[in-house]
Chains A and B, each alone.
Chain A
Amino acid sequence: MNGLATSRITSAAPMNLVTILTLPVAMLLGSAISLIFAVAPREVTMGDAQRIMYVHVAVAWCGLASVLASGVAGIAYLKGRSLASDGWAQAFTEIGWLCCVLTLITGSIWAHEAWNTWWTWEPRLTSMLILAAICSGNLLLRGSFEDPHQRARIGAIVALLAILDVPLIVLATRIFRGIHPVHPSMSTTMRAVLVASVVGFAALFLLITEWRRRQIMLGNSITDMENREYNC
Protein backbone atom coordinates (compact mmCIF):
# COMPACT_ATOMS: atom_id res chain seq x y z
CA MET A 1 0.00 0.00 0.00
CA ASN A 2 2.91 2.22 0.85
CA GLY A 3 4.42 1.83 -2.60
CA LEU A 4 1.08 2.60 -4.20
CA ALA A 5 0.65 5.74 -2.10
CA THR A 6 4.16 6.86 -3.00
CA SER A 7 3.56 6.34 -6.70
CA ARG A 8 0.32 8.35 -6.41
CA ILE A 9 2.13 11.22 -4.75
CA THR A 10 5.07 11.21 -7.16
CA SER A 11 2.78 11.00 -10.17
CA ALA A 12 0.51 13.78 -8.91
CA ALA A 13 3.30 16.30 -8.30
CA PRO A 14 4.67 16.51 -11.87
CA MET A 15 1.12 17.15 -13.13
CA ASN A 16 1.47 20.65 -11.73
CA LEU A 17 4.92 20.97 -13.22
CA VAL A 18 3.62 20.03 -16.68
CA THR A 19 0.72 22.48 -16.37
CA ILE A 20 2.95 25.27 -15.12
CA LEU A 21 5.57 24.74 -17.81
CA THR A 22 3.23 24.35 -20.78
CA LEU A 23 2.74 28.08 -21.37
CA PRO A 24 6.44 29.10 -21.04
CA VAL A 25 7.48 26.22 -23.31
CA ALA A 26 4.83 27.18 -25.88
CA MET A 27 6.11 30.77 -25.79
CA LEU A 28 9.72 29.63 -26.10
CA LEU A 29 8.94 27.39 -29.06
CA GLY A 30 6.72 30.06 -30.66
CA SER A 31 9.57 32.59 -30.34
CA ALA A 32 12.04 30.13 -31.89
CA ILE A 33 9.73 29.46 -34.85
CA SER A 34 9.16 33.20 -35.28
CA LEU A 35 12.93 33.74 -35.32
CA ILE A 36 13.33 31.02 -37.97
CA PHE A 37 10.85 32.71 -40.31
CA ALA A 38 11.27 36.39 -39.42
CA VAL A 39 14.87 36.94 -38.30
CA ALA A 40 17.01 34.23 -39.93
CA PRO A 41 18.41 35.54 -43.25
CA ARG A 42 17.33 33.96 -46.52
CA GLU A 43 20.11 31.61 -47.65
CA VAL A 44 21.56 32.50 -51.06
CA THR A 45 21.75 29.05 -52.70
CA MET A 46 18.72 27.19 -51.30
CA GLY A 47 16.41 30.08 -50.52
CA ASP A 48 13.63 29.61 -47.98
CA ALA A 49 13.90 25.79 -48.10
CA GLN A 50 17.11 26.09 -46.06
CA ARG A 51 15.07 27.23 -43.03
CA ILE A 52 14.17 23.58 -42.41
CA MET A 53 17.77 23.16 -41.23
CA TYR A 54 16.89 24.97 -37.97
CA VAL A 55 14.25 22.33 -37.19
CA HIS A 56 16.31 19.43 -38.56
CA VAL A 57 19.40 20.13 -36.44
CA ALA A 58 17.32 20.78 -33.32
CA VAL A 59 15.33 17.53 -33.54
CA ALA A 60 18.48 15.56 -34.45
CA TRP A 61 20.32 16.80 -31.34
CA CYS A 62 17.24 16.19 -29.19
CA GLY A 63 17.02 12.65 -30.61
CA LEU A 64 20.63 11.81 -29.80
CA ALA A 65 20.30 13.36 -26.32
CA SER A 66 17.10 11.35 -25.69
CA VAL A 67 18.76 8.08 -26.70
CA LEU A 68 21.69 8.85 -24.37
CA ALA A 69 19.30 9.81 -21.57
CA SER A 70 17.31 6.60 -22.05
CA GLY A 71 20.57 4.62 -21.70
CA VAL A 72 21.45 6.49 -18.49
CA ALA A 73 17.94 5.83 -17.11
CA GLY A 74 18.40 2.18 -18.15
CA ILE A 75 21.62 1.95 -16.10
CA ALA A 76 19.76 3.54 -13.17
CA TYR A 77 17.05 0.86 -13.46
CA LEU A 78 19.52 -2.03 -13.68
CA LYS A 79 21.32 -0.75 -10.57
CA GLY A 80 18.32 0.32 -8.46
CA ARG A 81 15.43 -1.76 -9.92
CA SER A 82 13.10 1.18 -9.53
CA LEU A 83 10.22 1.49 -11.99
CA ALA A 84 10.56 5.27 -11.70
CA SER A 85 13.87 5.00 -13.59
CA ASP A 86 12.19 2.81 -16.18
CA GLY A 87 9.48 5.45 -16.59
CA TRP A 88 12.21 7.87 -17.64
CA ALA A 89 13.89 5.25 -19.83
CA GLN A 90 10.70 4.44 -21.72
CA ALA A 91 9.68 8.09 -22.11
CA PHE A 92 13.14 9.02 -23.43
CA THR A 93 13.12 6.03 -25.81
CA GLU A 94 9.76 7.11 -27.24
CA ILE A 95 10.91 10.71 -27.64
CA GLY A 96 14.20 9.48 -29.12
CA TRP A 97 12.27 7.45 -31.69
CA LEU A 98 10.03 10.42 -32.51
CA CYS A 99 13.02 12.74 -32.93
CA CYS A 100 14.88 10.21 -35.11
CA VAL A 101 11.86 9.89 -37.41
CA LEU A 102 11.43 13.70 -37.54
CA THR A 103 15.15 14.05 -38.30
CA LEU A 104 14.84 11.62 -41.19
CA ILE A 105 11.73 13.38 -42.56
CA THR A 106 13.13 16.91 -42.29
CA GLY A 107 16.51 15.71 -43.60
CA SER A 108 14.82 14.08 -46.56
CA ILE A 109 12.99 17.32 -47.42
CA TRP A 110 16.26 19.26 -47.11
CA ALA A 111 18.09 16.65 -49.24
CA HIS A 112 15.45 16.96 -51.96
CA GLU A 113 16.21 20.66 -52.25
CA ALA A 114 19.98 20.45 -51.76
CA TRP A 115 20.95 17.16 -53.43
CA ASN A 116 17.91 16.69 -55.69
CA THR A 117 17.02 13.34 -54.12
CA TRP A 118 14.75 12.32 -51.25
CA TRP A 119 17.19 9.70 -49.97
CA THR A 120 20.79 8.69 -50.46
CA TRP A 121 22.83 6.03 -48.62
CA GLU A 122 25.01 8.66 -47.04
CA PRO A 123 26.81 7.42 -43.84
CA ARG A 124 25.10 9.83 -41.45
CA LEU A 125 21.63 9.22 -42.90
CA THR A 126 22.19 5.48 -42.80
CA SER A 127 23.40 5.51 -39.19
CA MET A 128 20.42 7.68 -38.16
CA LEU A 129 18.08 5.22 -39.87
CA ILE A 130 19.75 2.39 -37.92
CA LEU A 131 19.13 4.27 -34.66
CA ALA A 132 15.46 4.81 -35.58
CA ALA A 133 15.17 1.07 -36.32
CA ILE A 134 16.78 0.15 -32.97
CA CYS A 135 14.40 2.50 -31.10
CA SER A 136 11.44 0.97 -32.99
CA GLY A 137 12.68 -2.51 -32.03
CA ASN A 138 13.03 -1.45 -28.39
CA LEU A 139 9.47 -0.10 -28.29
CA LEU A 140 8.08 -3.21 -30.02
CA LEU A 141 9.97 -5.45 -27.61
CA ARG A 142 8.74 -3.51 -24.59
CA GLY A 143 5.18 -4.14 -25.77
CA SER A 144 5.78 -7.91 -25.70
CA PHE A 145 6.22 -8.11 -21.92
CA GLU A 146 3.42 -8.06 -19.36
CA ASP A 147 5.65 -7.90 -16.31
CA PRO A 148 6.86 -4.31 -15.81
CA HIS A 149 10.22 -5.35 -14.33
CA GLN A 150 10.96 -7.76 -17.17
CA ARG A 151 9.98 -5.03 -19.64
CA ALA A 152 12.20 -2.53 -17.85
CA ARG A 153 15.20 -4.88 -17.77
CA ILE A 154 15.01 -5.75 -21.47
CA GLY A 155 14.31 -2.13 -22.43
CA ALA A 156 17.37 -0.99 -20.46
CA ILE A 157 19.67 -3.49 -22.20
CA VAL A 158 18.46 -2.47 -25.68
CA ALA A 159 18.71 1.23 -24.76
CA LEU A 160 22.34 0.66 -23.74
CA LEU A 161 23.07 -1.14 -27.01
CA ALA A 162 21.42 1.72 -28.93
CA ILE A 163 23.87 4.18 -27.34
CA LEU A 164 26.68 2.45 -29.25
CA ASP A 165 25.22 3.83 -32.50
CA VAL A 166 25.39 7.46 -31.31
CA PRO A 167 29.18 7.97 -31.80
CA LEU A 168 28.83 6.39 -35.24
CA ILE A 169 26.21 9.01 -36.19
CA VAL A 170 28.33 11.88 -34.85
CA LEU A 171 31.54 10.68 -36.52
CA ALA A 172 30.02 9.14 -39.68
CA THR A 173 30.61 12.12 -41.95
CA ARG A 174 34.18 12.60 -40.76
CA ILE A 175 35.17 8.92 -40.96
CA PHE A 176 33.45 7.95 -44.21
CA ARG A 177 33.82 11.24 -46.12
CA GLY A 178 30.05 11.57 -46.66
CA ILE A 179 28.29 14.47 -48.35
CA HIS A 180 26.37 15.56 -45.24
CA PRO A 181 27.55 19.04 -44.11
CA VAL A 182 29.87 18.86 -41.08
CA HIS A 183 30.58 22.48 -40.11
CA PRO A 184 28.59 24.66 -42.55
CA SER A 185 29.59 28.33 -42.52
CA MET A 186 26.85 30.42 -40.91
CA SER A 187 26.43 34.09 -40.08
CA THR A 188 26.12 35.14 -36.41
CA THR A 189 22.36 35.68 -36.85
CA MET A 190 21.92 32.19 -38.28
CA ARG A 191 23.87 30.69 -35.38
CA ALA A 192 21.78 32.61 -32.84
CA VAL A 193 18.54 31.42 -34.47
CA LEU A 194 19.85 27.85 -34.51
CA VAL A 195 20.64 28.03 -30.77
CA ALA A 196 17.16 29.48 -30.08
CA SER A 197 15.60 26.67 -32.13
CA VAL A 198 17.58 23.99 -30.25
CA VAL A 199 16.53 25.49 -26.90
CA GLY A 200 12.87 25.75 -27.97
CA PHE A 201 12.64 22.19 -29.29
CA ALA A 202 14.62 20.80 -26.33
CA ALA A 203 12.12 22.45 -23.95
CA LEU A 204 9.20 21.02 -25.93
CA PHE A 205 10.59 17.49 -25.96
CA LEU A 206 11.51 17.66 -22.26
CA LEU A 207 7.94 18.69 -21.47
CA ILE A 208 6.52 15.85 -23.58
CA THR A 209 8.96 13.43 -21.94
CA GLU A 210 7.82 14.48 -18.46
CA TRP A 211 4.18 14.24 -19.49
CA ARG A 212 4.72 10.77 -20.96
CA ARG A 213 6.74 9.61 -17.94
CA ARG A 214 3.88 10.65 -15.69
CA GLN A 215 1.45 8.72 -17.89
CA ILE A 216 3.68 5.58 -17.72
CA MET A 217 3.90 5.84 -13.92
CA LEU A 218 0.12 6.14 -13.66
CA GLY A 219 -0.19 3.06 -15.90
CA ASN A 220 2.17 1.17 -13.57
CA SER A 221 0.10 2.24 -10.53
CA ILE A 222 -3.09 0.96 -12.18
CA THR A 223 -1.42 -2.38 -13.02
CA ASP A 224 -0.17 -2.55 -9.44
CA MET A 225 -3.70 -1.97 -8.08
CA GLU A 226 -5.20 -4.56 -10.42
CA ASN A 227 -2.62 -7.13 -9.36
CA ARG A 228 -3.31 -6.44 -5.66
CA GLU A 229 -7.07 -6.85 -6.18
CA TYR A 230 -6.49 -10.06 -8.14
CA ASN A 231 -4.26 -11.46 -5.39
CA CYS A 232 -6.82 -10.57 -2.68
Chain B
Amino acid sequence: MSSLSAWCGTFVWLIHKDIVRELRARRILPVTLLLGISLILLLALRLDIALDARLHVSGGLFWAASFFAGALLVERSFAAEREEGCWRAMRLMPITPATIYLAKLAFHFLALLGLQLVILPCFALLADVSWMANPGKLAAVVVLANLGFASIGTILGGMLCSLRQRSQMLMILLLPLVVPVALGAGAATTALADAQPDPEWLLGLQLLGLFAGLYAAAGALLFEYAMEE
Protein backbone atom coordinates (compact mmCIF):
# COMPACT_ATOMS: atom_id res chain seq x y z
CA MET B 1 0.00 0.00 0.00
CA SER B 2 2.81 2.38 0.93
CA SER B 3 4.69 1.54 -2.28
CA LEU B 4 1.54 2.34 -4.28
CA SER B 5 1.09 5.67 -2.53
CA ALA B 6 4.80 6.41 -3.06
CA TRP B 7 4.39 5.59 -6.75
CA CYS B 8 1.31 7.85 -6.97
CA GLY B 9 3.23 10.62 -5.20
CA THR B 10 6.12 10.38 -7.70
CA PHE B 11 3.69 10.23 -10.62
CA VAL B 12 1.79 13.33 -9.48
CA TRP B 13 5.05 15.13 -8.71
CA LEU B 14 6.34 14.49 -12.25
CA ILE B 15 3.14 15.86 -13.80
CA HIS B 16 3.20 18.80 -11.39
CA LYS B 17 6.79 19.57 -12.45
CA ASP B 18 5.74 19.75 -16.12
CA ILE B 19 2.69 21.89 -15.40
CA VAL B 20 4.63 24.32 -13.19
CA ARG B 21 7.39 24.61 -15.79
CA GLU B 22 4.82 25.35 -18.48
CA LEU B 23 3.03 27.94 -16.33
CA ARG B 24 6.34 29.67 -15.62
CA ALA B 25 8.04 29.50 -19.00
CA ARG B 26 5.04 29.13 -21.38
CA ARG B 27 7.19 27.34 -23.95
CA ILE B 28 4.69 24.77 -25.18
CA LEU B 29 1.03 25.79 -25.12
CA PRO B 30 1.12 29.29 -26.70
CA VAL B 31 3.04 28.15 -29.79
CA THR B 32 1.00 24.94 -30.06
CA LEU B 33 -2.25 26.89 -29.78
CA LEU B 34 -1.13 29.32 -32.44
CA LEU B 35 -0.25 26.47 -34.80
CA GLY B 36 -3.53 24.69 -34.04
CA ILE B 37 -5.63 27.80 -34.71
CA SER B 38 -3.67 28.60 -37.90
CA LEU B 39 -4.26 25.07 -39.18
CA ILE B 40 -7.96 25.23 -38.30
CA LEU B 41 -8.29 28.55 -40.16
CA LEU B 42 -6.45 27.20 -43.17
CA LEU B 43 -8.60 24.06 -43.34
CA ALA B 44 -11.90 25.79 -42.58
CA LEU B 45 -11.25 28.26 -45.41
CA ARG B 46 -11.54 25.41 -47.90
CA LEU B 47 -14.70 23.97 -46.32
CA ASP B 48 -17.13 26.19 -48.22
CA ILE B 49 -18.79 23.11 -49.72
CA ALA B 50 -22.14 21.27 -49.53
CA LEU B 51 -23.21 20.29 -45.99
CA ASP B 52 -23.05 16.54 -46.65
CA ALA B 53 -19.51 16.73 -48.00
CA ARG B 54 -18.48 19.07 -45.20
CA LEU B 55 -19.79 16.72 -42.52
CA HIS B 56 -18.04 13.83 -44.25
CA VAL B 57 -14.56 15.40 -44.18
CA SER B 58 -14.65 17.70 -41.16
CA GLY B 59 -13.95 14.99 -38.54
CA GLY B 60 -10.77 13.87 -40.29
CA LEU B 61 -9.62 17.45 -40.87
CA PHE B 62 -10.11 18.39 -37.23
CA TRP B 63 -8.02 15.47 -36.03
CA ALA B 64 -5.32 16.13 -38.65
CA ALA B 65 -4.98 19.72 -37.37
CA SER B 66 -5.08 18.56 -33.78
CA PHE B 67 -2.36 15.93 -34.25
CA PHE B 68 -0.10 18.26 -36.25
CA ALA B 69 -0.23 20.76 -33.40
CA GLY B 70 0.17 17.84 -30.97
CA ALA B 71 3.41 16.78 -32.68
CA LEU B 72 4.84 20.24 -32.01
CA LEU B 73 3.63 19.97 -28.41
CA VAL B 74 5.48 16.69 -27.88
CA GLU B 75 8.64 17.97 -29.57
CA ARG B 76 8.77 21.15 -27.48
CA SER B 77 7.96 19.28 -24.29
CA PHE B 78 11.00 17.01 -24.67
CA ALA B 79 13.22 19.83 -25.98
CA ALA B 80 12.57 21.68 -22.72
CA GLU B 81 13.54 18.59 -20.69
CA ARG B 82 16.72 18.21 -22.66
CA GLU B 83 17.89 21.81 -22.74
CA GLU B 84 17.48 22.37 -19.01
CA GLY B 85 19.28 19.17 -18.05
CA CYS B 86 16.10 17.81 -16.50
CA TRP B 87 16.17 14.66 -18.62
CA ARG B 88 19.58 13.62 -17.30
CA ALA B 89 18.50 14.36 -13.72
CA MET B 90 15.37 12.27 -14.10
CA ARG B 91 17.39 9.35 -15.42
CA LEU B 92 19.60 9.51 -12.35
CA MET B 93 16.65 9.51 -9.96
CA PRO B 94 15.29 6.26 -8.50
CA ILE B 95 12.15 6.39 -10.64
CA THR B 96 11.20 3.57 -13.00
CA PRO B 97 11.16 4.51 -16.71
CA ALA B 98 7.53 3.32 -16.90
CA THR B 99 6.57 5.92 -14.24
CA ILE B 100 8.34 8.69 -16.16
CA TYR B 101 6.61 7.52 -19.35
CA LEU B 102 3.15 7.47 -17.77
CA ALA B 103 3.69 10.91 -16.21
CA LYS B 104 4.86 12.42 -19.50
CA LEU B 105 1.95 10.69 -21.25
CA ALA B 106 -0.49 12.20 -18.73
CA PHE B 107 1.02 15.67 -19.21
CA HIS B 108 0.78 15.41 -23.01
CA PHE B 109 -2.78 14.11 -22.69
CA LEU B 110 -3.78 17.09 -20.51
CA ALA B 111 -1.99 19.58 -22.78
CA LEU B 112 -3.74 18.13 -25.85
CA LEU B 113 -7.06 18.38 -24.05
CA GLY B 114 -6.31 22.04 -23.27
CA LEU B 115 -5.44 22.65 -26.91
CA GLN B 116 -8.66 21.00 -28.10
CA LEU B 117 -10.79 22.99 -25.66
CA VAL B 118 -9.81 26.00 -27.76
CA ILE B 119 -9.55 24.64 -31.29
CA LEU B 120 -12.60 22.35 -31.25
CA PRO B 121 -15.16 25.18 -30.77
CA CYS B 122 -13.18 27.34 -33.25
CA PHE B 123 -13.33 24.59 -35.87
CA ALA B 124 -17.01 23.84 -35.23
CA LEU B 125 -17.81 27.54 -35.60
CA LEU B 126 -15.72 28.19 -38.71
CA ALA B 127 -16.64 24.96 -40.50
CA ASP B 128 -20.27 25.20 -39.37
CA VAL B 129 -20.47 21.64 -38.06
CA SER B 130 -21.72 20.33 -34.75
CA TRP B 131 -20.81 17.10 -32.99
CA MET B 132 -22.58 18.08 -29.78
CA ALA B 133 -25.66 15.94 -30.41
CA ASN B 134 -23.88 13.18 -28.44
CA PRO B 135 -21.57 14.90 -25.92
CA GLY B 136 -20.79 11.70 -24.01
CA LYS B 137 -19.77 9.84 -27.16
CA LEU B 138 -17.69 12.82 -28.34
CA ALA B 139 -15.92 12.85 -24.96
CA ALA B 140 -15.13 9.13 -25.35
CA VAL B 141 -13.63 9.74 -28.81
CA VAL B 142 -11.57 12.71 -27.59
CA VAL B 143 -10.23 10.79 -24.58
CA LEU B 144 -9.23 7.70 -26.58
CA ALA B 145 -7.78 9.69 -29.50
CA ASN B 146 -5.68 11.84 -27.16
CA LEU B 147 -4.59 8.76 -25.22
CA GLY B 148 -3.50 7.04 -28.45
CA PHE B 149 -1.66 10.09 -29.73
CA ALA B 150 -0.01 10.89 -26.40
CA SER B 151 1.09 7.24 -25.97
CA ILE B 152 2.91 7.02 -29.28
CA GLY B 153 4.09 10.64 -29.18
CA THR B 154 5.65 10.22 -25.74
CA ILE B 155 7.65 7.11 -26.61
CA LEU B 156 8.94 8.65 -29.85
CA GLY B 157 9.65 12.02 -28.20
CA GLY B 158 11.61 10.34 -25.41
CA MET B 159 13.51 8.18 -27.88
CA LEU B 160 14.48 11.08 -30.15
CA CYS B 161 15.13 13.82 -27.61
CA SER B 162 18.91 13.32 -27.80
CA LEU B 163 18.92 13.62 -31.59
CA ARG B 164 19.91 16.86 -33.31
CA GLN B 165 17.24 16.58 -36.04
CA ARG B 166 14.60 15.43 -33.56
CA SER B 167 11.77 17.62 -34.90
CA GLN B 168 12.03 16.29 -38.47
CA MET B 169 12.49 12.70 -37.33
CA LEU B 170 9.58 12.96 -34.90
CA MET B 171 7.29 14.07 -37.73
CA ILE B 172 8.56 11.35 -40.08
CA LEU B 173 7.88 8.60 -37.53
CA LEU B 174 4.93 9.99 -35.62
CA LEU B 175 2.66 10.79 -38.54
CA PRO B 176 2.55 7.27 -40.06
CA LEU B 177 2.25 5.64 -36.64
CA VAL B 178 -0.61 7.91 -35.63
CA VAL B 179 -2.63 7.22 -38.82
CA PRO B 180 -4.66 4.34 -37.28
CA VAL B 181 -5.60 6.66 -34.39
CA ALA B 182 -6.44 9.51 -36.79
CA LEU B 183 -8.52 7.14 -38.98
CA GLY B 184 -10.50 5.85 -36.00
CA ALA B 185 -10.97 9.33 -34.51
CA GLY B 186 -11.98 10.82 -37.89
CA ALA B 187 -14.51 8.07 -38.63
CA ALA B 188 -16.02 8.18 -35.13
CA THR B 189 -16.22 12.00 -35.05
CA THR B 190 -17.79 12.19 -38.53
CA ALA B 191 -20.46 9.68 -37.49
CA LEU B 192 -21.26 11.85 -34.44
CA ALA B 193 -22.67 14.60 -36.64
CA ASP B 194 -25.93 12.60 -36.70
CA ALA B 195 -28.11 12.49 -33.60
CA GLN B 196 -28.25 8.69 -34.12
CA PRO B 197 -24.67 7.75 -35.09
CA ASP B 198 -24.33 4.81 -37.51
CA PRO B 199 -22.30 1.68 -36.60
CA GLU B 200 -19.21 3.39 -38.09
CA TRP B 201 -18.95 5.28 -34.81
CA LEU B 202 -18.49 2.13 -32.75
CA LEU B 203 -15.99 0.72 -35.27
CA GLY B 204 -13.93 3.93 -35.08
CA LEU B 205 -14.07 3.85 -31.29
CA GLN B 206 -12.95 0.20 -31.19
CA LEU B 207 -10.00 0.99 -33.49
CA LEU B 208 -9.11 3.94 -31.25
CA GLY B 209 -9.34 1.83 -28.11
CA LEU B 210 -7.24 -0.94 -29.63
CA PHE B 211 -4.42 1.35 -30.75
CA ALA B 212 -4.52 3.52 -27.62
CA GLY B 213 -4.11 0.36 -25.53
CA LEU B 214 -1.42 -1.14 -27.77
CA TYR B 215 0.63 2.07 -27.93
CA ALA B 216 0.33 2.72 -24.18
CA ALA B 217 1.42 -0.85 -23.37
CA ALA B 218 4.28 -0.75 -25.91
CA GLY B 219 5.38 2.64 -24.55
CA ALA B 220 5.41 1.48 -20.91
CA LEU B 221 7.47 -1.59 -21.89
CA LEU B 222 9.90 0.13 -24.27
CA PHE B 223 10.47 3.49 -22.58
CA GLU B 224 13.30 2.01 -20.53
CA TYR B 225 15.22 1.42 -23.79
CA ALA B 226 14.06 4.70 -25.34
CA MET B 227 15.53 6.70 -22.44
CA GLU B 228 19.04 5.30 -22.80
CA GLU B 229 21.79 7.41 -24.33
Q: Which of A137, A144, A156, A158 has the most CB of B within 10 A?
A: A137
- Give B162's nearest chain A residue, CB to CB: A150
What per-residue 1/0 map shows which CB atoms of B155-169 lie under 8 Å from chain A?
100011001110001
Query: How far, in whole Å, are A145 and B152 apart by their CA atoms in the complex?
Result: 21
Q: Which of chain A's residues have a CB closer than 8 A to the CB of B180?
A: 127, 130, 165, 168
Q: Does B172 contact A (CB under 8 A)?
A: yes
Q: Of B14-22, B29-37, B220-228, which stretch is located at the interface?
A: B220-228
User: Is B135 engaged at the interface, CB distance under 8 Å to the other chain?
Assistant: no
Partner of A160, one of B165, B169, B203, B222: B222
Closest CB in chain B relative to A135 CB, distance in Å: 9
Residue in B159, B165, B229 whose CB lies within 8 Å of A157:
B159
Q: Are A78 and B225 in contact (CB under 8 A)?
A: yes
Question: Which residues A127-180 have CB closer than 8 A to chain B?
Answer: 127, 130, 133-134, 136-138, 140-141, 144-145, 150, 153-154, 156-158, 160-161, 164-165, 168, 175-176
B179 in the interface (beta carbon within 8 A) = yes
Query: Contact: A144 with B169, CB < 8 Å?
Result: yes
| Secondary structure dominating the interface of B | helix
Give residues of chain A (94-142) contacting chain B, Cβ–Cβ below 8 Å: 126-127, 130, 133-134, 136-138, 140-141
| Contact status B225-A164, CB under 8 Å | no
Cβ of B218 under 8 Å from chain A: yes
Contacting pair B226 A157 (CB below 8 A): yes
Contacts A144-B163, A154-B159, A157-B226 given; does A164 touch B176 at CB 8 Å: no
A153–B214 contact, CB under 8 A? no
The residues of A that contact B159 with a CB separation of less than 8 Å are: 154, 157
Q: Which of A140, A157, A164 contacts B169 (CB 8 A)?
A: A140
Q: Which residues of A contact B211 (CB under 8 A)?
A: 164
CA distance A87 to B201 in the complex (A): 43
User: B228 near A153 (CB under 8 angstroms)?
Assistant: yes
B215 within 8 A of A: yes
Q: Which residues of A contact B155 (CB under 8 A)?
A: 157, 161
Which listed residue (A130, A157, A175) contacts B179, Cβ 8 A?
Answer: A130
> Which chain A residues border B173 with CB–CB below 8 Å?
134, 137-138, 141, 158
Q: How far is the CB of B176 from chain A (nearest CB, A)?
A: 4
Chain B residues with CB under 8 Å of A164's CB are 211, 214-215, 218
A residues 203-230 near B (Cβ < 8 Å) are none
Shortest CB-to-CB span from B170 to chain A, Å, is 10
The answer to whether A156 and B172 have CB atoms under 8 Å apart is no
**Closest approach, in angstroms, between the C-beta of A144 and any C-beta of chain B?**
6
Contacts of B80 in A (CB 8 A): none
Nearest 8 pairs of A and B residues by beta carbon: A133-B176, A137-B173, A137-B172, A134-B176, A130-B179, A130-B176, A164-B214, A157-B222
A-side residues, CB < 8 A to B, are: 78, 126-127, 130, 133-134, 136-138, 140-141, 144-145, 150, 153-154, 156-158, 160-161, 164-165, 168, 175-176
**26 CB-based A-B contacts, threshold 8 Å:** A126-B179, A126-B183, A127-B180, A130-B176, A130-B179, A134-B176, A134-B177, A136-B172, A137-B172, A140-B172, A141-B160, A141-B169, A141-B172, A144-B163, A150-B229, A153-B228, A154-B159, A156-B225, A157-B155, A157-B159, A160-B218, A161-B152, A161-B155, A161-B218, A164-B211, A164-B218
- List residues of B whose CB falls within 8 A of some A CB: 152, 155, 159-160, 163-165, 169, 172-173, 175-177, 179-180, 183, 203, 207, 211, 214-215, 218, 222, 225-226, 228-229
